[in-house]
């Protein structure tokens, strides 16, 4: 029996992986402009980290984590998201002590969640995310959203919608929480089992329920905006005015709560409005998580970040018909005919590559015609033809494929000739 890939995973093959590389490089380039530095954390962490940070009432912790016990009887979990690991590293490595603050980080890497696979949603998926820790300035909230929008826009997406909300500070959230409990409790038996469990532990999550989204109590649920204290209201107004000054459009959705327990104040999602994109329109999301560092043993540290799925980003590009400017061609394909020429070919190829040229040759002992066809398939700009006679005379024939012009070049000069032509 042959082996097959596990459900919810994918092989990213040549021809497709170049799109991933382009997108990842664009994200890195934009992070550099915004002065965010890359961080690389372990793919697995102690399970307790995610229980404390993501929240034991979330779907991720209750249903979706890949958790195992190692040989030392330690409970470990494949990371389901990136923020907890980044904040853990920030605390453990005392990045809060660096002279330049806030600490601005980004990551690109695989995450793992056991959920039902569908278009753009896998059990192993890749997230690009950023975290800005150490500042409670509302303008950095706007900066984080601006960076996310820049990634999408500079890759060519146009059908975007930034959705914004505030969850308020601790005082505002408590007042809202009490109002939600009073609102849902008399009829909580009409809701799903998850919502019934959330009523006392985290009633805000009821608003995020997919099963009961059409229940009439959802439409009349108390809004966080009615319970914001003055500090929370002023904070949100500054975030909005900063985005407006940047020229970034947004819409307010009072029901947007995000699915993780650590969010407070600003919460946002970026949606795709492209036709045919699918029922799940969210491309990315994030928000502020003041208090998370303290939760895992660090000093009081405000923070904000976002994470975007690269799978969903690539789906959105396809939905809008965006073609990435990926060059898939060789600079030179070397055709060698005759035993002496074939013996010489590897050293010529090595010199071409050392000079920075993308070059290749035949390794299947094909005839000349078949080698030229192989050169065509690689979109080679030049084909260099070396036979035993040319080798004896110290020359090589170089053909420019686009024009068809063919020139005989001194063998020792072929690298410099192609470099000059390119």
Binding residues for L-histidine: 81-83, 113, 127, 131, 258, 262-263
**DSSP for residue 162:** E
User: Which residues are within 8 A (CB) of 126 and not within 5 positions of it... i.e. 6 or more apart?
Assistant: 20, 108, 109, 110, 111, 309, 310, 311
Binding positions? 81-83, 113, 127, 131, 258, 262-263
Q: What angle do CA 179, 181, 182 make, to 5 degrees?
A: 65
Q: How far is CA 244 from the centre of its chain?
A: 26
Which DSSP string corresponds to 119-135? TTB-SEEEEEEEEEES-
- CA–CA gap between residue 338 and residue 26 (Å, rounded): 45
- CA–CA gap between residue 161 and residue 249 (Å, rounded): 8
b/e burial code for range 246-280 (CB count within 10 A of at least 16 → b): eeeebeeeeebbbebbbbbbbbbbbbbebeebeee
Give whole-number Cα distances, 127 to 106, 252, 290, in Å: 10, 25, 22
């Amino acid at each position: 029996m042959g082996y097959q890939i596990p459900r919810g995973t994918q092989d990213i093959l040549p021809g497709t992986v170049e799109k991933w590389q382009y997108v990842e490089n664009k994200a890195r380039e934009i992070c550099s402009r915004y002065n965010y530095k890359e961080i690389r954390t372990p793919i697995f962490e102690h399970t307790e980290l995610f229980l404390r940070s993501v929240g034991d009432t979330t779907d991720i912790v209750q249903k979706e984590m890949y958790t195992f016990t190692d040989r030392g009887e330690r409970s470990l979990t494949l990371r389901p998201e990136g923020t907890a690991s980044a904040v853990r590293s920030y605390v453990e490595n005392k990045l809060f002590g660096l002279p330049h603050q806030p600490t601005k980080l980004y990551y690109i890497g695989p995450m793992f969640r056991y959920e039902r696979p569908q278009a753009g949603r896998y059990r192993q998926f890749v997230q690009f995310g950023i975290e800005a820790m150490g500042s409670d300035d509302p303008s950095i909230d706007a900066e984080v959203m601006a960076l996310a929008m820049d990634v999408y826009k500079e890759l060519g997406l146009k059908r975007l919608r930034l959705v914004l909300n505030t969850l308020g500070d601790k005082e505002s959230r408590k007042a809202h929480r009490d109002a939600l409990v009073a609102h849902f409790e008399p009829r909580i038996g009409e809701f799903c089992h998850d919502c019934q469990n959330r009523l006392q532990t985290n009633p805000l999550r009821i608003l995020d329920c997919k099963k009961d989204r059409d229940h009439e109590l959802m439409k009349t649920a108390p809004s966080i905006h009615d319970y914001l204290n003055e500090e929370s209201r002023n904070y949100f107004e500054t975030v909005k005015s900063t985005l407006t000054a940047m020229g970034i459009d947004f819409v307010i959705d009072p029901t947007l709560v995000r699915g993780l327990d650590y969010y407070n104040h600003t919460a946002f999602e970026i949606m795709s409005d492209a036709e045919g994109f699918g029922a799940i329109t969210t491309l990315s999301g994030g928000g502020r998580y003041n208090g998370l560092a303290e939760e895992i043993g660090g000093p009081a540290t405000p923070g904000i970040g976002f994470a975007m799925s690269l799978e969903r980003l690539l789906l959105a590009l396809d939905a809008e018909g965006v073609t990435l400017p990926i060059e898939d061609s060789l600079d030179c394909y070397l055709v060698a005919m005759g035993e002496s020429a074939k013996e010489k070919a590897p050293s010529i190829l090595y010199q071409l590559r050392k000079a920075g040229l993308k070059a290749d040759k035949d390794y299947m002992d094909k005839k000349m015609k078949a080698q030229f066809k192989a050169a065509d398939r690689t979109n080679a700009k030049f084909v260099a033809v070396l036979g035993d006679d040319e080798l004896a005379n110290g020359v090589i024939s170089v053909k420019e494929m686009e024009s068809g012009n063919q020139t005989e070049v001194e063998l020792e000069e072929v690298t410099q000739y192609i470099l000059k032509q390119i």
